[in-house]
């Protein structure tokens, strides 16, 4: 009872010492509340984009063989860590630091130290979000692009390749393209429309993946002597499906989160709407076209269709009407289905279809605003102008094509130089013996599925099959 009265007495003394008016006077202003809301919104978007790494781990592990599953999933953690350190040290500065007017790369803000570093990032300083949160948000984008780049290396690249190439990609490849479009560089000044990264994130990562795929050569057994491809199915389709669901979920941080604000009449909600429509259309139309071609509804084709549509709408989600989002998603799903087959016939072994899904669809996403951007949405975003179908002529389409070609050429050349030098100096592919036994055991000394692989090995020994 005494404790109860003591609490009441302390409460009365507090009210007398600090009147209600004092609390009101010292409370946050509307401007402070807005900044706090935008900061929380952007941090939530960062969490969603970061969580996409779980989607990549499940998708890629499920799409590859059991003997490589632990390696493929584990390297997702490795590349995320590499991106975090490299992007903090140098990449963020090259990407978003002040460039002194060169338009190519930033020159300030290296080893970013905190909120006091805002003066080094003029393109980000006008936002109601601390520079630390903006770093986290953009780091998550860089990590996604690196994950895409490493996807093309699956099942035959040395672990050391992920480390060395991951560092260089996060410092000298991705940040330069990001600066061109988002950091005050030359493409941004021309008005290139890439709201959340069809070009910056996806085409960049996919182009690097293509170079890696070409230099590594196909996996053992992928092609016969006559050049015809063999199907090497992934070991767990359910993992792949769960991975795509997680990626679809995370994309709501990717696209709507790029508004970097919960204000402006909730414009992020409109971006979420177009994103969702495109993803749905991509999955449905890819499944239908696979049904028409194969006579059976192909689930991996549907998964790739969803991802391709999300990639395509990533750049255009804030610039196009909902009907156009449906068209963009459907075209992405259909085109990716056919290009995946074309690359296989061309003897390009891309285990997770990185270039078809992220590269080809990224190109389509880049040019789509040149056709479908509405004048109203271009005005709201303050980037570029209306597309061809809305009376804007070929101007915006030309800018989009220029950005696409410039990014493709830059990333291809730099990736080829880096990976080519690595191939000549240290080698980038494991030995045939290591590839045959699986990268889980050869690179890490243990299997991702130890009990199952033990049974497989025993069965192979009994039947005389060499794994």
Q: Burial letters for 328-350: b for 16+ Cβ neighbours within 10 Å, e otherwise?
A: bbbbbbbbbbebbeebbeeebbb
**Count of CB atoms within 10 A of residue 205's CB?**
31
Query: Distance between CA 206 and CA 222 in Å, rounded?
Result: 21
Q: Are 64 and 154 in contact (CB under 8 A)?
A: yes
Q: What is residue 229's three-state secondary structure?
A: strand
Query: In Å, what is the CA distance from 441 to each residue of 247, 277, 309, 334, 465?
Result: 29, 42, 36, 38, 18
The reported pLDDT for the residue numbered 458 is 66
Q: Are 69 and 440 in contact (CB under 8 A)?
A: yes
pTM: 0.92
The reported pLDDT for the residue numbered 21 is 45
End-to-end CA distance of the chain: 77
**Count of CB atoms within 10 A of residue 210's CB?**
25
The count of C-alpha atoms lying within 13 angstroms of the C-alpha of 388, restricted to the half-sphere facing its C-beta, is: 10
Query: Distance between CA 397 and CA 406 in Å, rounded?
Result: 14
Q: Is 25 exposed, middle or buried (0-12, 13-18, 19+ CB in 10 A)?
A: exposed
**Count of CB atoms within 10 A of residue 410's CB?**
16
The reported pLDDT for the residue numbered 127 is 87
> pLDDT for 301-328, tens place per residue?
999 999 999 999 999 999 999 999 999 9
> pLDDT for 326-341, tens place per residue?
999 999 999 999 999 9
Query: In Å, what is the CA distance from 264 to each residue of 5, 38, 138?
Result: 49, 11, 21
Query: Distance between CA 418 and CA 426 in Å, rounded?
Result: 12
> pLDDT for 240-278, tens place per residue?
999 999 999 999 999 999 999 998 789 999 999 999 999
> pLDDT for 341-398, tens place per residue?
999 999 999 999 999 999 999 999 999 999 999 999 999 999 999 999 999 999 999 9
The total number of residues written for the chain in this structure: 467
Question: What residues of the chain score a pLDDT lower than 50?
Answer: 1-3, 5-18, 20-24, 466-467
Token pair belonging to 234: 């992934």
Query: Distance between CA 84 and CA 115 in Å, rounded?
Result: 18
Measured at the alpha carbon of residue 244, what is the angle toward residues 238 and 246, in degrees to the nearest 5?
105
Q: For residue 229, what are the β-bridge partners?
A: 223
């Amino acid at each position: 009872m005494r404790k109860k009265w003591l609490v009441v007495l302390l409460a009365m003394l507090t009210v007398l010492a600090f009147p209600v008016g004092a609390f009101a006077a010292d409370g946050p202003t509307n401007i402070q509340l807005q900044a706090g809301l935008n900061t929380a919104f952007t941090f939530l978007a960062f969490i969603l984009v970061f969580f996409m790494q779980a989607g990549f781990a499940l998708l890629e592990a499920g799409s590859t063989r059991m003997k490589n599953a632990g390696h493929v999933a584990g390297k997702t953690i490795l590349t995320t860590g590499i991106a975090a350190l490299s992007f903090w040290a140098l990449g963020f500065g090259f990407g978003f630091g002040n460039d002194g007017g060169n338009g190519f790369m930033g020159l300030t803000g290296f080893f970013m130290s905190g909120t006091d570093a805002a003066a080094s990032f003029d393109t980000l300083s006008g936002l109601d979000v601390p520079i630390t949160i903006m770093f986290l948000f953009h780091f998550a984008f860089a990590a996604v692009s690196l994950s895409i780049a490493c996807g093309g290396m699956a099942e035959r690249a040395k672990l050391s390749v992920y480390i060395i190439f991951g560092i260089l990609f996060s410092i000298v490849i991705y940040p330069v393209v990001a600066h061109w479009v988002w950091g005050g560089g030359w493409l941004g000044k021309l008005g290139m429309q890439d709201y959340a990264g069809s070009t910056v994130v996806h085409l960049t990562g996919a182009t690097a993946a293509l170079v890696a795929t070409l230099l590594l050569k196909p996996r053992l057994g992928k092609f016969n002597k006559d050049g015809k491809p063999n199907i090497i199915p992934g070991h767990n389709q359910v993992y792949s499906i769960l991975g795509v669901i997680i990626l679809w979920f995370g994309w709501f941080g990717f696209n709507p989160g790029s508004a970097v604000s919960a204000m402006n009449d909730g414009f992020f909600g409109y971006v979420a709407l177009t994103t969702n429509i495109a993803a749905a259309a991509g999955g449905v139309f890819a499944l239908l076209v696979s049904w028409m071609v194969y006579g059976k509804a192909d689930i991996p084709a549907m998964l790739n269709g969803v991802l391709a549509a999300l990639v395509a709408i990533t750049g255009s989600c804030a610039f196009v009407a909902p009907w156009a989002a449906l068209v963009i998603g459907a075209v992405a799903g259909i085109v990716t289905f056919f290009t995946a087959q074309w690359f296989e016939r061309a003897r390009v072994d891309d285990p997770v279809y990185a270039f078809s899904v992220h590269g080809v669809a990224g190109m389509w996403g880049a040019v789509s605003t040149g056709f479908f951007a509405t004048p109203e949405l271009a005005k709201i975003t303050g980037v570029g102008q209306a597309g061809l179908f809305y009376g804007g002529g070929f101007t915006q389409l030309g800018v989009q094509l220029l950005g696409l070609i410039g990014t493709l050429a830059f990333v291809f050349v730099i990736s080829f130089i880096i990976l080519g030098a690595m191939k000549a100096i240290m080698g980038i592919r494991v030995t045939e013996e290591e590839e045959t036994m699986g990268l889980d055991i050869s690179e890490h000394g243990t299997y991702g599925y130890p009990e199952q692989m033990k049974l497989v090995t025993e069965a192979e020994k009994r039947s005389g099959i060499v794994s």
